[in-house]
Amino acid sequence: MYRKDTNQVFRPANLRCGRTPRGSAPRKRQRNRNHKREPRKRNTRYFEVNMPDIKKDSNSDLRSQLTAFKETKLASLKEQLSAQKSRADSLQSAIKAKRAAFIEAEEQKRLEEQQKAELEALKLKEAEEAKKSKKKVEAEEQKPAEELKPEKDEQPVEQKPADKKSKEAKPEKVEPKLIPTDKENIFIEIAPDGTERKVYKELPKPPKTAKPDASTGKGESTVKTRNFGPNGYQTQRGPKPQGNTNAPRPAGGRPSSPISPAPQPFPPKPNTPKKGGKKDTSNGKEFDGSKKMNKRDLMRKGYMDYENVTYDENGEEFVRSYKVPKNRGGGNSATVVIENAVITTDPVAIKTLSEKIGKSAGEIVKTLFILGIMKTINDSIDFETAELVASEFGIRLEYKPDVTLEETLTAQLDIDEVEDLDNLVPRPPVVTIMGHVDHGKTSLLDYIRKTKVTAGEAGGITQHIGAYTVSLDGKKITFLDTPGHEAFTSMRARGAQVTDIAVLVVAADDGVMPQTIEAINHAKQAGVSIVVAVNKIDKPGANPDKVIGQLPEYGIVPEEWDPQNGVPIVQVSAKTGQNVDTLLETILTVAEIKELVANPNRNARGTIIEARLDKGLGKVATILVQTGTLKIGDFVVAGTSTGRIRAMIDDKGKKVKKAGPSTAVSVTGWDDVPEAGDRIDVVADEKFARALAEERRLKLEASKVHSTAVSLNDLFDKISKGELKSVKLIVKADVQGSVEAVNQSLAKLGNEEVGIDIIHSAVGAVKESDINLAETAGAIIVVFNLAVDSRMQALADQKHISLIKKKVIYDVIDEIEKAVKGQLAPKYREVSLGSAEIRELFKISGVGTIAGSHVVDGKIVRGAKARLVRDGKIVYTGEIASLRHGKDDVKEMQRNFDCGIMLQNFQDVKVGDIIEAFEMEQITDED
């Protein structure tokens, strides 16, 4: 509410809430003046009850303690200050001494340089004086250039000998000497006192020869002159000669109007403007080189000598001029004909072949197209094809292999190996952990590395390739964390041996599984030492003794049974870490027995463990250095990839500048992403690295065309030649019983010459690892009662790996038995049919070259085998594609008949070649 009389807000009693209304003075508290305020009592009951044994410190005790603390602190600070002051004084004195020594050295250096400069200046001055004195002596020895011979009309004046008095009275005058220079009419004048100066002296001009009179034949002649005067040319003509005055054309010249020597130029004219032209600013001065003038103008004005002026037989003067023929690009240059060419590489690039045989790359590609070979100018061809192309152009091509860069690198590595013997030091072992899925491989490695990465991996399967280094009592061990068995298949197929020891992990509650057997076979094939780790011994139901009893069935004999050749077995738990240190000690013991050594003081050599394209870092490769030391800035080559080391990161994520043997680092600086398993080498420079990579690329292209992978045909051929002593097989079957039956049956097929070696057998379909193992070991895969995936079949065909797919065991036995006995590849012998001589060639557009031949012996049969012989050498071996007699196609032609023969995919036939027809006949056992 609002009260108008007081201008205040009035609140009812029930809304005041104990507050004073606005505008009203606060109520004063009424005090009793006689009331005395009692002092507040301190509650000491807490100290009396809870802290009866603690005595209270007095203020004097606190002050004394604080004073003592301050004095102690002040004394320590003074000691530190004095120590730092003395240290600063010593440092300052040392700096002053170094500075004084540096200044003294710089002053000494400056004095030495000054003395050296003064000495050089003195030597230079002496050399100049000697040169000047020598020049004066030579000038005195030369005759004066102005002493000319007296003319014929002048007679020498006889002089009477003068008496001694006259000679003494009149001394003989010494003329200055003139020395000619490289410029005409310029001489160096040497005075009697030795002073020199340049002078200009004109030499007499050549005499004029008068033209004889043709009518009289006398020596008198009339000279035609053309003088340039103030009014232009003024020609003075003499009497016109009688008769034929045509003179013959001088050799090497052209007829020109006779001219006389140019007269002396007129006196300078004032600068007067000419009509229709520019103002003449020469003002009678000498010739300005910036103005262009022809030869006649130069001669007319007296600026040109008479070197180009000659005289014809009539005595007339003319200027010789030679016309230089223009080079219009064609010219008469001789064409170089190439008959023989040599190449040093096989295969050879088409561009290189073009340079060798002198033909364009387009012509070579066109010739290849005619021969049925599709190539581009950037491709390469083998020597046989190149030789065929060269023969099309009539050029004989030879192959003389030069020392390749690969051989140069190998020789250098051999030298390094010999030099390593004195610098070898022990290196850490490289260990690979293998085993069945979920048997604890990654968990064991994680415990060793003291990290946990298993939880982040999908399905418990390793998702990446890595290499890690751990230490035990100062000794290092490098572990490779590889998915599957890449360390023994893909890498070993490229010739890389990266692993020293293989740790085979077997679960104590699961026993030996198919992938365990596969890992054992891979390790044995690689020839590395094996250490068995029986894992999960902490789980309920674990039976390590059962696992140890299963291992001898697969060739793993425990060390307890055979101390000499047995395999160490350690029971561990990756979860609790039980006996993990014992496993590491066992690995170090095996490594010590193997005596693993390397030379760190040589160029590095290693293997690519992993390669990838990173968004941030670019092309990255994980390298395991096996020998030498890898440093930043090294030029490296790995397969067909090159690069220069820019940065190296170790397994702990730290940047390092160098990496020694058995060390894994991640490297950047590659031009291309290398392939895992490639060998990496440090080379001298980038040029050698790029050339070596290009050489390997060409060799790789050739190997794709001529694959050397093992197939059944190669196997039979090697057996027949006695080159193969054992047949390596990989057996894959549907069940374990089938695997055992096939293995037992195939093991009985070996004989004294050829044996059967089953390097791997397992249950299940053919996998990529099986094909890689077959490619590495040169084995054949036997697939029993199983279907082969189309992708695996395509991969096997690509790598030329033979798959024997059978559903009956007897068919498998028969197939391998024939291969072992060499009966599957039949033997043939050649039976001659006849021969024909090429006497004429017919080129038909759209068809090719038809060889008009005469049958000399036997008969020529269409479709039969044929060879073309030229000068006693076999040029072609193939088939007869077409045989015609006149316009009719015939099947065969007998002796003494003429026919037209066309060879299959061959057009380079010549007159005089011999075509021999033959057929291959199979040899039976009765023969």
655-696 confidence digits (pLDDT tens): 999 999 999 899 999 998 888 788 899 998 999 899 888 888
Residue 827 has what pLDDT?
61
Kindly state whether residue 20 falls inside one of the protein's structural domains: no
Do residues 376 and 393 touch, judged by C-beta distance below 8 A?
Answer: no
Residue 835 predicted with pLDDT over 90: yes
Of 551, 568, 595, the one marking the end of a domain is 595
> Do 520 and 536 belong together in one domain?
yes
How does residue 753 score in pLDDT terms, banded at 50, 70 and 90? low
Q: How many domains does the chain have?
A: 6
Residue 531 predicted with pLDDT over 60: yes
Residue 740 predicted with pLDDT over 60: yes
* pLDDT, averaged across the chain: 74
> Do 667 and 780 belong together in one domain?
no
Q: In angstroms, rounded to a whole number, what is the distance separating the alpha carbons of residues 633 and 295? A: 66
Residue 206 has what pLDDT?
55
Where residue 544 sits, what CATH number does that domain have? 3.40.50.300
Q: Which residues, 6 or more positions from 280, have their beta carbon under 8 angstroms from its beta carbon?
A: 269, 271, 272, 274
Kindly state whether residue 123 falls inside one of the protein's structural domains: no
Kindly state whether residue 180 falls inside one of the protein's structural domains: no
Mean pLDDT over 309-328 rounds to 52
> Do 448 and 591 belong together in one domain?
yes
Q: Using DSSP bridges, classify how beta strands 755-763 and 780-784 pair: parallel, antiparallel or unpaired.
A: unpaired
> Do 475 and 569 belong together in one domain?
yes
Residue 172 has what pLDDT?
55
> Do 452 and 587 belong together in one domain?
yes
> Do 492 and 618 belong together in one domain?
no
Residue 315 predicted with pLDDT over 70: no
Residue 484 predicted with pLDDT over 60: no
User: In this predicted structure, which of 135-149, 471-485, 856-870 has the lowest mean pLDDT?
Assistant: 135-149
Where residue 691 sits, what CATH number does that domain have? 2.40.30.10
Name, of 371-380, 413-422, 638-647, 791-800, the range with top average pLDDT: 638-647
Mean pLDDT over 561-566 rounds to 84
Residue 441 has what pLDDT?
82
* Nearest alpha carbon to residue 621 among 588, 566, 659: 659
Residue 36 predicted with pLDDT over 90: no
Do residues 842 and 849 touch, judged by C-beta distance below 8 A?
Answer: yes
* Nearest alpha carbon to residue 765 among 721, 798, 720, 735: 735
> Is pLDDT larger for residue 593 or for residue 216?
593
Mean pLDDT over 393-420 rounds to 78
Kindly state whether residue 197 falls inside one of the protein's structural domains: no
> Do 361 and 408 belong together in one domain?
no
769-806 confidence digits (pLDDT tens): 888 888 878 888 999 888 888 888 888 888 888 888 88
Kindly state whether residue 606 falls inside one of the protein's structural domains: yes
Where residue 359 sits, what CATH number does that domain have? 1.10.10
Q: How many Cβ atoms are within 10 Å of 690's Cβ, its own excluded?
A: 15
> Is pLDDT larger for residue 858 or for residue 524?
858
Both ends of the chain: CA-CA distance in Å?
A: 142
Residue 146 has what pLDDT?
44
Residue 30 predicted with pLDDT over 80: no
Instruction: Give helix 405-419 / helix 686-705 axis angle, nearest 10°.
Output: 120
Q: What is the pTM of this model?
A: 0.42
Q: In angstroms, rounded to a whole number, what is the distance separating the alpha carbons of residues 489 and 486? A: 5
Kindly state whether residue 184 falls inside one of the protein's structural domains: no
Mean pLDDT over 460-484 rounds to 69
- Residue 729, Cβ density class (10 Å: 0-12 exposed, 13-18 middle, ≥19 buried): buried
> Is pLDDT larger for residue 49 or for residue 528?
528
Structure tokens at 124: 């230079």
> Do 450 and 549 belong together in one domain?
yes
Kindly state whether residue 804 falls inside one of the protein's structural domains: yes
Structure tokens at 100: 């004084």
Residue 54 predicted with pLDDT over 50: no
Alpha-carbon dihedral sign for residues 850, 854, 855, 857: negative
How does residue 212 score in pLDDT terms, banded at 50, 70 and 90? very low
Residue 35 predicted with pLDDT over 80: no
Of 772, 796, 821, the one marking the end of a domain is 821
Residue 153 predicted with pLDDT over 80: no
Q: In angstroms, rounded to a whole number, what is the distance separating the alpha carbons of residues 471 and 652? A: 13
Where residue 805 sits, what CATH number does that domain have? 3.40.50.10050
How does residue 518 score in pLDDT terms, banded at 50, 70 and 90? confident
Residue 635 has what pLDDT?
94
> Do 610 and 748 belong together in one domain?
no
Share above pLDDT 70 across residues of the chain, in percent, rounded to a whole number: 65
> Is pLDDT larger for residue 795 or for residue 644?
644
Q: In angstroms, rounded to a whole number, what is the distance separating the alpha carbons of residues 351 and 871? A: 30
How does residue 532 score in pLDDT terms, banded at 50, 70 and 90? very high
Question: Which residue range is the domain that position 357 belongs to?
Answer: 340-399
Q: In angstroms, rounded to a whole number, what is the distance separating the alpha carbons of residues 882 and 862? A: 6
- Residue 514, Cβ density class (10 Å: 0-12 exposed, 13-18 middle, ≥19 buried): middle
Residue 899 has what pLDDT?
93
Of 785, 800, 821, the one marking the end of a domain is 821
User: In this predicted structure, which of 79-88, 123-132, 160-169, 636-645 has the lowest mean pLDDT?
Assistant: 160-169
User: In this predicted structure, which of 57-66, 253-262, 396-405 has the lowest mean pLDDT?
Assistant: 253-262
DSSP three-state, residue 122: helix
Residue 667 has what pLDDT?
92
Residue 222 has what pLDDT?
43
* Nearest alpha carbon to residue 605 among 537, 659, 534, 553: 659
> Do 519 and 590 belong together in one domain?
yes
Name, of 4-8, 313-317, 408-412, the range with top average pLDDT: 408-412
> Do 494 and 531 belong together in one domain?
yes
Kindly state whether residue 537 falls inside one of the protein's structural domains: yes
Residue 510 predicted with pLDDT over 70: yes
User: In this predicted structure, which of 515-524, 712-721, 722-731 has the lowest mean pLDDT?
Assistant: 712-721
Return the percent helix, strand and coil in the chain, to nearest 5. Answer: 30, 25, 45
Q: What are the backbone angles phi and psi of residue 781, rounded to the nearest 5°?
A: -95, 125
How does residue 471 score in pLDDT terms, banded at 50, 70 and 90? confident
> Do 418 and 432 belong together in one domain?
no
Residue 863 predicted with pLDDT over 80: yes
How does residue 517 score in pLDDT terms, banded at 50, 70 and 90? confident
Mean pLDDT over 379-403 rounds to 87
Residue 25 has what pLDDT?
52
Mean pLDDT over 193-220 rounds to 57
Structure tokens at 40: 């507040």
Residue 659 has what pLDDT?
92
Residue 330 has what pLDDT?
46
Do residues 644 and 633 touch, judged by C-beta distance below 8 A?
Answer: yes
Q: What are the backbone angles phi and psi of residue 736, rounded to the nearest 5°?
A: -65, -35
Mean pLDDT over 591-598 rounds to 90
